[in-house]
Amino acid sequence: MSEAQFDFLLQKVSPSIQKADTFLRIALPAKLKLKVTLHYLATGTCFRTLSALYRVPACSISLMIPEVCKEIYGVLDEFIKISIFLCDDAFPLRTNILKPYSGATALNETQLVFNYQLSRGRRFVKNSFGILVARFRIYEKLIPLSVATTEQIVKTTCALHNWLRKTSSNCVPYVEQQLMDLEDWNQGKVVPGKWGSLKNDGLIDVSTPLSSNNHTKKAAAVRDFCANKFVTTDIVPWQWNMI
């Protein structure tokens, strides 16, 4: 994060996180609270170490982090847009959950193209989470906080990730090219990026079915609609080499 990006974020969240001084104590500056929170998200450093670094009681840090995360997400929520989930066979097919076609019979060309496009989309998501782990080391290990605070941290880091990706300059890029997977369209294969080698014990893969695979006709219709678009209006020229 550049100095200009930090200043922009500080300006946005300061009115909400800056408290008034009292006769008993001087309120912690908004700048310090933002620094401590971003440090925690970027490194996953324990509260005791942060307390020693910033001379702030650990109990105060435990209170400020969810507060500041909530305000960061509030000012950056426009960078979060989730309308549909791209999943594998572990998940049920729903109107807002897409999964690949499967079955005992051979798949037709439309279904194969859909499966490729779904796999491609899921690969982008995996790349994004890999980059998220590279930038926010808090995900390298389990997060020892409440469920509510952990959910807030996930939303906040996703918003920060999207914001930094869109606002960082080419001189100081947020994402290094070697972190991401690359598609070799001529050879019909994927060249893995370095994101897959990063430690991410805080993110757990789902490998077993979460519920019944039975689905409604409406859910199947949504998937068929997307599949037809991939072979009509939303064709990419290399997809035929990848199926």
pLDDT per position as a tens digit, 54-96: 999 999 999 999 999 999 999 999 998 877 889 888 888 999 9
Beta strands 189-191; 182-184: pairing state: antiparallel
What global pTM score does this model have? 0.76
Q: Which of 89-98, 153-162, 175-184 has the highest mean pLDDT?
A: 153-162
pLDDT at residue 123, rounded to an integer = 85
pLDDT at residue 201, rounded to an integer = 54
Confidence of residue 100 (pLDDT cuts 50, 70, 90): very high
Is residue 27 predicted with pLDDT exceeding 60?
yes
pLDDT at residue 205, rounded to an integer = 56
Distance separating alpha carbons of residues 172 and 174, to the nearest angstrom: 7
pLDDT at residue 188, rounded to an integer = 67
Average pLDDT along the chain: 85
Distance (Å) of CA 210 to CA 82, 88, 155, 206: 20, 11, 22, 8
Is residue 211 predicted with pLDDT exceeding 70?
no
Give the dihedral sign, CA 102/104/106/108.
negative
Helix (H) or strand (E) holding 229: helix 217-230
Distance between terminal CA atoms of the chain? 39
pLDDT at residue 135, rounded to an integer = 87
Percent of the chain whose predicted confidence (pLDDT) is above 70: 82
Q: Where are the domains of the chain?
A: 3-79, 85-136+176-241
